[in-house]
Amino acid sequence: MDLDAYTAAHRADWDRLTELGARRRLSGAQSDELIERYQAGATQLSAIKSAAGSTLEGDRLSVGLSRARLRFTGVSANVLAQIPRFFVAQLPAALYRLRWLTLAVAVVTFVVAGLYAVWAYNDPRVLANLGTDAQLAQVANEDFVGYYSSSPAASFTGFVWTNNAWIAAQCIAFGIVGVYVPFIILQNAMSLGTTAAIMFAYDKGDVFFFYIAPHGLLELTAIFVAAAGGLLIFWAWIAPGARTRGQALAEDGRALFTVAIGLVFVLLVSGIIEGFVTSQPWPWPIKIGIGAVALAAFLTYMIVLGGRAARAGETGDLSEFEAGSTRIYGA
């Protein structure tokens, strides 16, 4: 082997390996490139040692390989130390990606619910299919309000929290099939519209809004976010762009897992409001105000903090990790 010629032929590759190994932060593509160059460099170092033994160029390449290896095999930072970053950067950035799709889901839901409510309210035959007059009157006059105090507040909170978190998780997990999220959206809209029609038919429209608003502002928004996440993962499969379908699903799936974790906490807050606020005999401005404050806080977190994190390069990808004081952002 002509060591000088071999070195000249691969010098640019080794320099690039050294440059990547010295960087504090790597993008997903750069992380992939680092691993590829590490594998090629290890093969080249083996060739040098086999042909020439210990050499200055081989030693330099070995140092570069050692630095590169530490980037993806080093000891991870304490998981607890990464929790603040998850809530301050990763989660809001992942939510921020879904802001416009969340708005679209909300608009579709309310339009469908409104149309269904108007149709059912103005057509007695539709209401008749939902139950007898006595049954519907029971729903409007007793069951709707009684539902919110049917169990102790703590038990009721736990029930609605786990139920809504399960629905949100299903939206994200089964979003890839394409039809599940639209089904959930339409089912939710139809249920909302049907209930509204019954309540208005028995002159309880104000009760409907008063009992839905305190917790529903945040709860429905969280479900809209989950639905948006499911639609996004489906779109990543349908139109991956420059990425392969596997890459698109892996990247977006990891970010949406971040969203799923975050929504568990959001829905816990809405569950607490539903269990401990909605049924209370407080003035309605106070109860609705609590729900409005909770929604405003979430939207600020999603849009303001999320926008700031996204502009700083955060993606919400949970494969991003910290090794020592150095961060690698995987694909």
pTM: 0.74
Sheet with 321-323, side-by-side order of all strands: 25-26, 326-328, 321-323
Structure token digits, residue 6 = 């071999």
* Bridge partners, residue 25, by sequence: 327
Collect all residues with Cβ–Cβ distance below 8 Å to 209 and sequence separation of at least 6: none
Residue 328 is inside which H or E element, if any?
Answer: strand 326-328
* Eight-class DSSP state of 55: -
To the nearest 10 degrees (0 to 180), the angle between helices 153-173 and 245-276 is 160
* Dihedral angle of Cα 222, 247, 14, 43, to the nearest 10 degrees: 130
Pairwise CA distance, residues 168 & 272, whole Å: 17
The pLDDT value recorded for residue 325 is: 36
What CA–CA distance (Å, rounded) separates 138 from 174? 36
Cβ atoms of 61 and 45 closer than 8 Å:
yes
Distances (CA, A) of 218 to 8, 105, 113, 135, 183: 62, 14, 17, 30, 21
* 292 burial via Cβ count (<10 Å: 0-12, 13-18, 19+): middle
Tokens at residue 155, please?
């038990």
Residue 81's pLDDT is 66
Cα gap 325→51, rounded to integer Å: 37
DSSP codes joined into one string, 138-179 = HIIIIIHHHGGGSS-HHHHHHHHHHHHHHHHHHHHHSGGGSS
Tens digits of pLDDT across the chain (331 residues)? 677 888 888 888 888 888 887 877 777 777 788 888 888 888 888 888 778 777 777 778 888 888 777 776 654 555 566 788 889 988 999 999 999 999 999 999 999 999 999 999 999 999 999 999 999 999 999 999 999 998 999 999 999 999 999 999 999 889 988 899 999 999 999 999 999 999 999 999 999 999 999 999 999 999 999 999 999 999 888 888 877 888 778 778 877 888 999 999 999 999 999 999 999 999 999 999 999 999 999 999 999 999 999 888 777 665 544 433 333 333 3
25-26 vs 326-328, strand pairing mode: parallel
Residues contacting 271, CB < 8 A, separation 6+: 157, 158, 160, 161, 164, 215, 219
Q: How many Cα atoms within 13 Å fall on the side-chain side of residue 90?
A: 22
CB atoms inside a 10 Å sphere around CB 259 = 24
Round to whole Å and give the CA distance between 109 and 202: 24
The type of residue at 128 is: A
Quote the CA–CA distance of 22 and 68 in Å, as a whole number.
Answer: 8
